[in-house]
């Protein structure tokens, strides 16, 4: 099974960033680009670690050497499994530093290029005795690619190494490189959760595929017993239901469900439609959770620790829906009508007053979307990303 990832959480932000700074965007091609990571000196001269071990527990590792969303970027590849490539690179980085005698374990749950951004999620452990490890931190890192991709990936790995060796609660080391320091606020977002008083854990307990860990999510362990909504992904994952009176109305024209009820109550979270809803024992996912006007849901099914949904044949496939909605957003097309087919048709009517380039781009996108690929989609329970089967 081959999956591609479309992030419903950051797709609009990524498109906006690319539009504001065209030089940073990655153009889609059919080429495969081989990565060769140079040793970019991190902003540290010492690390407490003398060796590093890397685990690859991403959701989909059917192509463990590929680091890209094949729908929107070239197929960047290490030419070897990610764990080997990253482990070899960081070993070389550590060799050039003053070092202590500890052993570092990096457990990657996310490492990919999504649009023009490198997304990394890694849990960091330090070896204690024998086969036991103690968790140091969980790092979620986003870096908008701004230059040569090999150097940017090396830079991010250096920042991960710096964070792993930073005492909990201390800021990351300052950035000495003037170019990167100037661009820091625009390019880098690091969310580091340091762990205090962590218990020892065996390598067998750590080395579990992400999908197995999702099986323990409350929403997968027990279905909601009443109707209501989930305002965000955390509430959905933890099954923290906000009870409310509602119905899910199926639109026969496009096979999409619409949330009905007291809209003031249902849209109380930043005036947006909830990310998910529960109705009569079934769960429904919002196709456009970051839109103020779109009220379109599809029913979720659970299987083997994941939630999935299917795009009906009456609609374009999922990546096309996202691209058309994004083009609609930037072109200033009118707000949604409530019917997705009408909204999509409206995009092309509105294109009459737009440039020929934009209209041609929409036609190209829609033609691709009529294919049967990317119609079975899974929900990433950590990031909210949508992973679609090819």
pLDDT digits (tens, 9 = 90+) for 243-300: 999 999 998 887 889 999 887 777 766 667 899 999 999 999 998 776 666 788 999 9
- 9 CB-near residues (< 8 Å, 6+ apart): 233, 289, 290, 383, 384, 385
pLDDT of residue 361: 54
* Residue 40 to residues 90, 94, 155, 161, 313, Cα–Cα distance (Å): 10, 11, 6, 12, 48
* Residues 214/384, Cβ–Cβ less than 8 Å: no
Q: What is the pLDDT of residues 24-54, one digit of tens each?
A: 233 334 467 788 888 777 778 899 999 999 9
Measured between alpha carbons, how far is 280 from 277 in angstroms, rounded to an integer? Answer: 10
What's the chain's average pLDDT? 75
139: confidence class by pLDDT, cuts 50, 70, 90: confident
56: confidence class by pLDDT, cuts 50, 70, 90: very high
pLDDT of residue 258: 92
pLDDT of residue 14: 29
Q: Which position has the higher pLDDT, 319 or 30?
A: 319
Residue 18 has pLDDT above 90, yes or no: no
Residue 152 has pLDDT above 70, yes or no: yes
- What is the arithmetic mean of pLDDT over 59-84? 73
């Amino acid at each position: 099974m081959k999956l591609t990832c479309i992030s419903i959480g950051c797709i609009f932000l990524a498109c906006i960033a690319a539009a504001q700074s065209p030089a940073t965007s990655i153009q889609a091609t059919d080429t495969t680009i081989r990565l060769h990571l140079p040793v970019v000196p991190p902003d540290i001269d010492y690390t407490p670690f003398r060796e590093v071990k890397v685990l690859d527990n991403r959701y989909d590792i059917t192509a463990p050497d590929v680091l890209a969303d094949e729908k929107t970027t070239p197929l960047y590849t290490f030419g070897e499994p990610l764990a080997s490539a990253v482990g070899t690179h960081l070993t070389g980085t550590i060799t050039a530093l003053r070092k202590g005698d500890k052993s570092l374990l990096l457990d990657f749950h996310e490492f990919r290029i999504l649009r023009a951004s490198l997304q990394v999620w890694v849990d960091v452990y330090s070896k204690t005795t024998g086969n036991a490890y103690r968790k140091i931190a969980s790092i979620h890192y986003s870096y908008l690619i701004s230059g040569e991709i090999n150097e940017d990936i090396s830079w991010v790995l250096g920042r991960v190494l710096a964070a792993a060796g930073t005492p909990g609660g201390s800021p990351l080391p300052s950035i000495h490189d003037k170019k990167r320091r100037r661009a820091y606020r625009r390019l880098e977002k690091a969310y580091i959760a340091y762990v205090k008083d962590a218990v020892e854990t065996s390598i067998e307990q750590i080395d579990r595929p992400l999908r197995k860990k999702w099986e323990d999510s409350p929403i997968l362990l027990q279905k909601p017993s009443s109707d209501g909504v989930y305002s965000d992904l955390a509430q959905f994952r933890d099954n923290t239901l906000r009870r409310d009176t509602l119905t899910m109305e199926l639109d026969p024209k496009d096979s999409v469900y619409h949330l009905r009820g007291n809209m003031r109550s249902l849209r109380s979270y930043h005036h947006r439609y909830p990310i998910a809803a529960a109705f009569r024992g079934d769960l429904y996912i919002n196709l456009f959770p970051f839109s103020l006007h779109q009220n379109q849901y599809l029913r979720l099914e659970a299987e083997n620790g994941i939630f999935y949904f299917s795009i009906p044949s009456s609609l374009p496939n999922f990546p096309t829906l996202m691209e058309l909605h994004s083009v609609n957003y930037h072109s200033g097309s009118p707000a949604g009508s409530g019917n997705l087919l009408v909204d999509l048709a409206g995009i092309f009517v509105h294109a009459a007053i737009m440039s020929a380039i934009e209209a041609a781009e929409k036609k190209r996108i829609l033609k691709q979307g009529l294919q049967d690929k990317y119609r079975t989609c899974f929900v990433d329970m950590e990031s909210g990303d949508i992973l679609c089967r090819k």
